[in-house]
Amino acid sequence: MSTPEIDGKTEQHPTTGNPTNPRSIERFSDDDRLLTSKELANRLGLSDHFMRKSRMGRCGPPFLRLGRNAVRYSWADVQHWLSTSRVETTAR
């Protein structure tokens, strides 16, 4: 069994490192990527606990529920949520 190659380079799955078929992987931009709760918490410098509470209180970024226990966030949705959550202060 041969390992798939593109331009002489072996394609590997980004998470597992296993060889992949380059034609079967859809290329995602960073805006299209779906993040787990922990990945998003790390990226935002927040705790996973905060992410869970914000889902329960419906005060956090929009999320997707994929099955019973799988929650994912679209980075584009998160960026929009961040921009609408901005608070401007005025100096006295």
Residues ≥6 apart with Cβ < 8 Å to 18: 12
Q: What is the pLDDT of residue 90?
A: 83
Number of folded domains that form the chain: 2
Q: Kindly report, residue by residue over 10-31, the tens digit of the pLDDT.
A: 666 555 566 655 544 455 566 6
Tell me: the pLDDT tens digits for 32-84? 789 999 999 999 999 999 999 999 998 899 999 998 889 999 999 999 999 99
Query: Per the structure block, which two tokens stand in for 87?
Result: 């608070």
pLDDT grade for 1, boundaries at 50, 70 and 90 = very low
User: In which residue are the tokens 């079967």 written?
Assistant: 24
Structure-model confidence comparison of residues 18 and 1, the more confident one = 18
Same domain membership, residue 40 and residue 21 = no
Check: pTM over 0.85? Answer yes or no. Answer: no
Looking at the structure, tell me whether residues 47 and 88 fall in a common domain.
yes
List the one residue out of 59, 63, 56 whose CA is nearest residue 78.
63
Check: CB of residue 37 under 8 Å from CB of residue 71.
yes
Same domain, yes or no: 80 and 92: yes
> For residue 77, what are the domain limits?
31-92
